[in-house]
Amino acid sequence: MKEIIVPELAESISEGTIAEWLVKEGESVQKGDPICELETDKVNVEVNAEYSGTLAKIVKQEGEDVEVGEVIAEIDENGSSASSSDSVESKEEAPKEESKKEDVKVDGSKESASTSTSSKDKVVASPATRKRARELGIDLAEVQASDPLGRVRTEDVEKHSNGSSKQEATQTKMSSQTAASNESSSDDRIEREKMSRRRQTIAKRLVEAQHNSAMLTTFNEVDMSAVMKLRSERKDKFQEKHGVKLGFMSFFTKAVVAALKDFPYLNAEIEDNEILLKKFYDIGIAVSTDDGLVVPVVRDADKLDFAGIESEIMDLGLKARNKELQLKDLQGGSFTITNGGIFGSLLSTPILNAPQVGILGMHTIQKRPVAMPDDTIEIRPMMYVALSYDHRIVDGKEAVQFLVRIKQLLEDPYDLLLEG
């Protein structure tokens, strides 16, 4: 038999969960064939057969957690699974072992009974103490004597009784809580569902982000009239020329990069007692998938034009939804943009994507009455934007000015075209 082990996954990943077995026990496999899918904290990876033969035994079932180097299956290179004779022999031996165990149990019970009888006889206690013990249903052998000579007194029995009562009360309370828990779990109206490894990781990191940073959120609103007009004028020619649609994300990505250049501490992270100022602009774009939220990264966004950004976002989005993202697609972002507006969110407070110190939240565009500079009222397409930041290295003034800068760039998008 040849063992199949969990291969080395990545530097930061040491364990995963068996998501699905692609081959059943008894089926033939060729060397290099994928035999199971492994879910890790970030991506799903396939484990390939290292030998040709028959999958003789699945050691780890779907849903079980495994570590790198752990055996998950066995392959028979001769093409035969484990012989049935072994199982027959084990079944025949089982009754013999059980009978032996029963004999041992009987002998053991006899010994314990004789031991308890003799221990009762050896206890030194007065008739009054023995009577009180019988009334309370206490075995004198279990009572701890306070007398240096080992004589059990009536107060020792009373003390033991009080301690037992408290213990029984505690056990009763615990058993009632357990019973209530079991009752709720057996309720047909309640369904228990195990969290996927990725969902557990998302939950853990979101909580850590709130506990390990001084997170604060500031808000502003953007008049999207100019962006929507420019997009409407150019979208057909843009798609014809570049093969991708001109969306809002490229405008926001360009605005974020320009603002980060003006406020570099939002493009940084904290390491021990030092601030790491990043001289690159790798922008994470939050993408919702069936398995949870992932944040693939658009590399060197400052060097890409609108078409390049839209192409990257489209490719990463497709990879995310088809579960084809690689670890390199998710690592090393310096700032994140999340768009709750596609789901209809009007306003939210995004949580930092640690160790980053800034995240921009986009929201749905809503027509609202706006007071214009000449005091007239106009109906404008408005979007609330939110910036969550780590107050440890970003002051409120910088955060507000950063968001104002983004507002200015989006309300006059021709400046973004000049940014390149």
Digit-coded pLDDT (tens) for 204-256: 888 888 888 899 999 999 999 999 999 999 889 999 999 999 999 999 999 99
| pLDDT above 50 (res 110) | no
- Catalytic option among 103, 236, 395, 412: 395
Would 328 be classed as within a structural domain? Answer: yes
Q: Which stretch, 36-45, 94-103, 129-138, 279-288, has highest mean pLDDT?
A: 279-288
Instruction: Report the chain's mean pLDDT, rounded to a whole number.
Output: 82
| pLDDT above 80 (res 330) | yes
Task: Report residue 337 CA to chain centroid gap.
Answer: 20
Sign of CA dihedral 114, 119, 122, 125: negative
The average pLDDT across 171-182 equals 60
Would 90 be classed as within a structural domain? Answer: no
pLDDT at 37: 84
Catalytic residue at 160?
A: no
Whether residues 353 and 208 fall in one domain: yes
pLDDT digits (tens, 9 = 90+) for 117-132: 444 445 777 666 777 7
Q: Looking at residue 148, which CATH number applies to its domain?
A: 4.10.320.10
> Between residues 6 and 275, which one has the greater pLDDT?
275
> Between residues 113 and 284, which one has the greater pLDDT?
284
Whether residues 213 and 149 fall in one domain: no
Residue of 195, 128, 133, 220 whose CA lies nearest to 408: 220
Residue of 287, 403, 418 whose CA lies nearest to 343: 287
Whether residues 317 and 398 fall in one domain: yes
Sign of CA dihedral 144, 148, 151, 154: negative
Q: Which two tokens stand for residue 62?
A: 């779907």
Task: Report residue 244 CA to chain centroid gap.
Answer: 33
pLDDT band at residue 3 under the 50/70/90 scheme:
confident
Whether residues 159 and 188 fall in one domain: yes
pLDDT at 145: 79
Whether residues 321 and 371 fall in one domain: yes
Catalytic residue at 211?
A: no
The average pLDDT across 86-96 equals 47
pLDDT digits (tens, 9 = 90+) for 275-322: 999 999 999 999 888 777 889 999 999 999 999 999 999 999 898 888
Cβ(403)–Cβ(216) under 8 Å? no
Least confident piece of the model among 52-56, 165-169, 268-272, 407-411: 165-169
Would 99 be classed as within a structural domain? Answer: no
**What does the radius of gyration of the chain's CA atoms come to, in whole angstroms?**
34
Number of domains in the chain: 3
Whether residues 168 and 231 fall in one domain: no
Question: Can you give the residue range of the structural domain that contains 210?
Answer: 199-419
